[in-house]
Structure 1
């Protein structure tokens, strides 16, 4: 940490099996050669309340104890929970933003698919509720329909599996004499199911793309922007009744013997539009990080505001960069390392700072998953110190 140029922090709070609150703190350090290193900084234990002020004071005590050089801090990423969001005069100016993966999942939850999920979940639970019914269903399908919890990835997989097993489910209800669900024979409901299956699969692909270690915030925002552009394009194609990107919807139309031009495309493009509007609203905090075709003075003003620099100095460097033939001819590999401290001090500082930014709280969430395995109900008396060192080894 002493050797790095800047660092950013990623914070997440959860409880273990003994109801002890834990806050994981990860650090991303960026060095003068613009290489980055991610590490578990510490695990802080909170025995009493977990209000915002309690979390802050616990972290502040850690800073004072370790003499963490806070003047190098450029950003803090949290899960957006009220207790994890806030500012204090004891900290320097830094960017504080909500985990990109969490925001993407919240955008997905804005879809108006409650009727689809409620019926599908009720059917799945009715089969799994009784041992006899579950055995009979297994005997007819050889596979069990797995239900899901609230997590978005599981919801998407659940819809896909449910739709695949729809014929077997209908046959099972017919043979077993159980009360049938009219929605399974409702053409419009089945079309809606097929559409939301396609849409949740697309959202799942984005969610998986955003996960993982060593993800730069710029790459994650690029992925989100690419998804938005794709969805706008898919929506336009859907209005033309081109279902190349909605295979489940096309398959359901074929099963029902309906031509594509009879599909009420506007009904579905409205859902896509609402979802994209939510994306625009939730990701507006990152608009300054997105490249745009703007005037040099406006771009310089944005950069200077974001990184607390002199606007005229940034403007001068941008103009110099635009005409730097030598730099353009060598622009490959470690591009930002070509920016010398003497010639481009401000732009180089921007590059180093951006490299430090955490785009999500993925590392914290992964750590909590390991924690639940390490400190299980069979090892509930494990000490905090023992848990921390085991967690450090695990990750």
Structure 2
């Protein structure tokens, strides 16, 4: 519902409800007609915001970005957030001189003549293809010239001077690579905007992190679904945030990202990584959404939350010992200790050839680290006694309380790591992720019962240690770790309670053929009767989106609408995590002066699932 009509009784009587109301009473989403809003370019924007009119759309003179909507709010926001700090000092005649200089630079970007020969076309196409590979692999733009030199030398090595001349005609200078990437970015951006414009529903994933220069970067990703259940996940927005980041700052940037797509009208859910307070109903980002009448679901990131529960184990003292031993083996005596340790392992025929490099990693990433350490604990102890380095560390590795804690910590982090891998599978929707969470809750309850009974089959390391000392008559009791299991259970139940309100809808989405019609929402009952009586549909084995794609729009409008809403929802901000990983490769310590505009272009092209049609680009006169 439009925030401006949130308190309008007439709107309520007309049945305008939040898109996250999973009841089929939801009317067809309104799509804003920006063409009818009498928006036109204002000449003062040139001096106020450094924008000019290009093909009836505002274009920035500084970064050449073209905004999709001719709206002063968007123009001003772009200038304030991107360029004001650099250009606000220019006023009066000096500002006019700067504007004229910027306009001359824009003119230098004028379209080039169309290629006239097949060789010229092939050279330009080759240039685009190489530039696409450069940006996909997150390489520096200057690598283009290096690739060209190598290609020419290879051609001549094969004795083909003609091919060498062809390679020489391919333009791959730093400037050309930047220009090609800009063109491909415009192509992908247009396709993303078209997908959002034509979608039925969408959801947004938001994440914030710090780049190599210490700048807070906000990433906004979007997941769309159209009426034919075609799903797309793409980067929508990247914005540096100045100073301390507040919920208001994040909210404003999300509003900007969605402004030219009709705002939150068709938004089903927002997934965000951040503090629990962020999604409290009356505060944080959720409170700001509620204030403006936005009714979409607000969900905390379920991938990152798994990392948070690791801190509940309160076993950092165990990890500190492991890290100290590992660092000593790796670093003491300039690597001599490490080499001797490897030789000792070979002599003892131990599995594995080395300890992993210690890093500042999340708990979940320490699972394999701990597993390898536990597996080598005897060999490590023998080595420590040989070099007589630290009696305390030696004592730790023969102390049964420490070994029990190490075994339990290893097993539980392995369990969490297994869940994390399930949650991070590509292209999952919220239904699949909710299944993983529900199964994990049940497994935690089972593991608690196992510990009560001292049944250690599902605790591999604990069981190994138990059987090892059992021969000497010692019986280890692992039930002292039950409070830690209970803490995990309580944490999962509390942190994922927002997903519980989706439980009935997700169950119906996963298996409508077996749904209890009497207990189903009244709006779905008649359609479920017809669905379950349909012999063709009853014989189908598809589940989830593939099944709902089979449903006829006329016969099952409400069930299809439910399917579209569920299909549009993110289950995690993993796509944002992937984007930040790519961002750190692109904006590395060797390229930390890259501009925000170029960073966004490179990041969009490195993460997109869309295929750039080079032939279509070649048909445009600007190439």
Could you tell me the TM-score, scaled by structure 1's length? Answer: 0.86
The residue number in structure 1 matching 2:294 is: 92
- Residue 101 of structure 1, aligned match among 295, 303, 325: 303
Instruction: Measure how far apart 1:58 and its partner are.
Output: 2.7
In structure 1, distance between residues paired with 2:397 and 2:524: 62
Q: Are positions 1:155 and 2:355 aligned together? A: no
| 118-127 or 195-204, larger mean C-alpha shift | 118-127
In structure 1, distance between residues paired with 2:314 and 2:525: 46
In structure 2, distance between residues paired with 1:136 and 1:29: 55
Q: Are positions 1:173 and 2:384 aligned together? A: yes
Select the structure with the greater relative contact order (CA < 8 A; seq sep ≥ 6).
Answer: 1
In structure 1, distance between residues paired with 2:213 and 2:480: 48
Deviations 1:170-213 (A, max 9, x none): 22221112122222111122122112211211111111111132
In structure 2, distance between residues paired with 1:249 and 1:259: 16
In structure 2, the residue corresponding to 1:130 is in which secondary structure? helix
The residue number in structure 2 matching 1:304 is: none
In structure 2, distance between residues paired with 1:217 and 1:273: 25
Deviations 1:125-150 (A, max 9, x none): 34445344x42133123524532324
Is the 8 Å Cα contact of residues 296 and 315 (structure 1) preserved in structure 2? yes
Q: Are positions 1:385 and 2:575 aligned together? A: no
- Residue 353 of structure 1, aligned match among 542, 551, 565: 565
The residue number in structure 1 matching 2:54 is: none
Instruction: Measure how far apart 1:323 and its partner are.
Output: 5.2
| 344-353 or 30-39, larger mean C-alpha shift | 344-353
Is the 8 Å Cα contact of residues 208 and 219 (structure 2) preserved in structure 1? yes
| 158-167 or 363-372, larger mean C-alpha shift | 158-167
In structure 1, distance between residues paired with 2:300 and 2:539: 36
Distance 1:70 1:382, change over 3 A: same
Distance 1:117 1:316, change over 3 A: same
Q: Are positions 1:139 and 2:340 aligned together? A: yes
| 383-392 or 275-284, larger mean C-alpha shift | 275-284
In structure 1, distance between residues paired with 2:307 and 2:329: 28
- Residue 225 of structure 2, aligned match among 23, 30, 33: 30
In structure 2, distance between residues paired with 1:173 and 1:369: 38
Distance 1:108 1:298, change over 3 A: farther
In structure 1, distance between residues paired with 2:485 and 2:531: 38
The residue number in structure 2 matching 1:80 is: 274
The residue number in structure 2 matching 1:308 is: none
The residue number in structure 2 matching 1:306 is: none
- Residue 198 of structure 1, aligned match among 386, 390, 411: 411
In structure 1, distance between residues paired with 2:527 and 2:540: 17
In structure 2, distance between residues paired with 1:131 and 1:102: 38
Task: Please identify the structure whose Cα radius of gyration is greater.
Answer: 2
The residue number in structure 2 matching 1:223 is: 436
The residue number in structure 2 matching 1:305 is: none
Distance 1:115 1:351, change over 3 A: same
In structure 2, distance between residues paired with 1:285 and 1:296: 25
Instruction: Measure how far apart 1:226 and its partner are.
Output: 1.4
In structure 2, distance between residues paired with 1:269 and 1:144: 30
Is the 8 Å Cα contact of residues 148 and 155 (structure 1) preserved in structure 2? no
Instruction: Measure how far apart 1:28 and its partner are.
Output: 0.7
Distance 1:47 1:274, change over 3 A: closer
Instruction: Measure how far apart 1:121 and its partner are.
Output: 2.5
Is the 8 Å Cα contact of residues 241 and 261 (structure 1) preserved in structure 2? no
The residue number in structure 2 matching 1:124 is: 326
Distance 1:168 1:262, change over 3 A: closer
In structure 2, distance between residues paired with 1:234 and 1:328: 39
In structure 1, distance between residues paired with 2:252 and 2:243: 12
**Residues 1-395 of structure 1 correspond to what in structure 2 (within 5 A)?**
1-64=196-259, 66-81=260-275, 85-86=285-286, 87-88=288-289, 89-90=291-292, 92-128=294-330, 130-132=332-334, 134-142=335-343, 143-180=354-391, 181=393, 182-258=395-471, 262-291=475-504, 300=521, 312-314=522-524, 316-317=526-527, 320=529, 324-326=533-535, 329-333=538-542, 334-395=546-607
Is the 8 Å Cα contact of residues 194 and 249 (structure 1) preserved in structure 2? yes
Instruction: Measure how far apart 1:122 and its partner are.
Output: 3.0
Instruction: Measure how far apart 1:13 and its partner are.
Output: 1.4
Instruction: Measure how far apart 1:360 and its partner are.
Output: 0.6
Structure 1: runs of 5+ lacking an equivalent: 301-311
Is the 8 Å Cα contact of residues 7 and 72 (structure 1) preserved in structure 2? yes
Is the 8 Å Cα contact of residues 236 and 257 (structure 2) preserved in structure 1? no
Instruction: Measure how far apart 1:8 and its partner are.
Output: 0.5
Is the 8 Å Cα contact of residues 355 and 373 (structure 2) preserved in structure 1? no
Could you tell me the TM-score, scaled by structure 2's length? Answer: 0.56
In structure 2, distance between residues paired with 1:295 and 1:331: 19
Tell me the number of residue pairs that the alignment of Structure 1 and Structure 2 aligns: 381
Is the 8 Å Cα contact of residues 231 and 272 (structure 1) preserved in structure 2? yes
Distance 1:232 1:328, change over 3 A: farther
Instruction: Measure how far apart 1:225 and its partner are.
Output: 1.2
Is the 8 Å Cα contact of residues 326 and 355 (structure 2) preserved in structure 1? no
